[in-house]
């Protein structure tokens, strides 16, 4: 099953140009939805005004080279490895879902545009990566859905309670799940059932890509911008108006805040994780 290109069989029913047009249409919907989202939420305006505000309280100017280095750090830490998550389970789940989605989408496009028919068979690695991507997406996504999602873990709601914020994750999981079931049934030769799951796959993927304005799909574009801005505020000293956290052993700090040496001693030890010792599951 996993070495099998499910789209090549489909050309008997759906012409290649229709499949390719669908992929292009979905890509355009993502671009259009993101632009509408930016206009509707005024997020670009917000980030611009926020950076102007930060510049006013900046203690130093950040040069071009340093900005490039901060951008690279943001890509390496926040974008590629989801480093902004303080909960490591959530970070792992996000990494599985993100890389699964990227693999799934890229290999789908490759199979539809480069190897659309059985006359042009795809190298084995492409369908393997397509199935692996869908499986990774399902693993990370269902882990998030049943156990990590804040509605379940902190709010104490049951996993089946749906809200508008779930459009993205539900349509994403439905897309990957129906794609896997469709591929399995097709490889088993159950053509009627496989067609049913193909229709469900298309309905869920259309929902995923056409609801960008109402879902949190666009977070993959504005979250890196927010992470970059956060790093910039640390570099220029404005630090979002957050207070300084100085070294407690610094004599100037001891003089300025005499409570520190009086109650904590001259060389305060590492006090440990505090409230971070427990996960926030006390509802």
**List of residues contacting another protein (CB under 8 A):** 43, 46-47, 50, 56-57, 84-87, 90, 150-151, 153-155, 163-165, 216, 222, 226, 230, 240-246, 248, 253, 256-257, 259-260, 263-264, 268-277, 280-283
Residue nearer to another protein on the CB measure, 120 or 164? 164
Q: How far apart are CA 17 and CA 93, in angstroms?
A: 36
Q: Least distance in Å: CB of 36 to another protein?
A: 16
Find the DSSP H helices in 144-189.
150-153, 167-188
Find out whether 275 and 100 touch, Cβ atoms under 8 Å: no
> What is the residue whose two structure tokens read 């505020």?
233
Residues constituting the chain: 283
Q: Least distance in Å: CB of 100 to another protein?
A: 20
Residue nearer to another protein on the CB measure, 192 or 269? 269
Q: Least distance in Å: CB of 162 to another protein?
A: 9
Q: Least distance in Å: CB of 166 to another protein?
A: 8
**Phi and psi dihedrals of 275, rounded to 5?**
-70, -15
Q: How far apart are CA 74 and CA 80, in angstroms?
A: 8
Find out whether 7 and 186 touch, Cβ atoms under 8 Å: no
* 93: number of Cβ within 10 Å: 23
Q: Which stretches of 82-205 are assigned E, i.e. beta strand?
A: none
Q: Least distance in Å: CB of 82 to another protein?
A: 10
Contacts of 94 (CB under 8 A, 6+ apart): 82, 85, 140, 144
Q: Least distance in Å: CB of 17 to another protein?
A: 38
Residue nearer to another protein on the CB measure, 138 or 148? 148
Residue nearer to another protein on the CB measure, 28 or 155? 155
**Phi and psi dihedrals of 178, rounded to 5?**
-65, -35
């Amino acid at each position: 099953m996993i070495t099998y290109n499910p789209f090549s069989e489909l050309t008997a029913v759906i012409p290649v140009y229709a499949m390719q047009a669908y992929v292009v249409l979905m890509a355009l919907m993502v671009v259009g939805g993101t632009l509408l989202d930016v206009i509707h939420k005024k997020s670009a305006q917000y980030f611009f005004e926020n950076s102007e505000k930060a510049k006013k309280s900046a203690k130093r100017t950040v040069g071009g080279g340093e900005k490039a280095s901060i951008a690279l750090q943001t890509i390496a830490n926040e974008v590629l490895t989801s480093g902004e998550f303080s909960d490591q389970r959530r970070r792992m789940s996000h990494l599985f879902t993100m890389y699964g989605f990227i693999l799934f989408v890229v290999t789908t496009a490759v199979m539809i545009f480069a190897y659309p028919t059985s006359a042009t068979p795809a190298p084995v690695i492409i369908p393997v990566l397509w199935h692996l991507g869908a499986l990774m997406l399902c693993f990370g996504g269902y882990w998030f859905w049943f156990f990590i999602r804040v509605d379940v873990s902190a709010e104490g709601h049951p996993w089946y309670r749906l809200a508008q914020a779930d459009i993205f994750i539900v349509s994403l999981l439905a897309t990957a799940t129906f794609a896997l079931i469709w591929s399995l049934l097709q490889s088993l030769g159950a053509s009627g059932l496989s067609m049913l799951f193909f229709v469900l796959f298309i309905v869920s993927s259309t929902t995923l890509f056409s609801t960008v304005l109402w879902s949190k799909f666009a977070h993959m574009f504005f979250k890196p911008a927010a992470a970059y801005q956060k790093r910039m505020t640390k570099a220029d000293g404005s630090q979002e108006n957050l207070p300084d956290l100085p070294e407690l052993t610094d004599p100037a700090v001891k003089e300025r805040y005499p409570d520190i040496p009086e109650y904590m001693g001259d060389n305060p030890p590492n006090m440990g994780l505090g409230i971070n010792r427990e996960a926030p599951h006390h509802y």
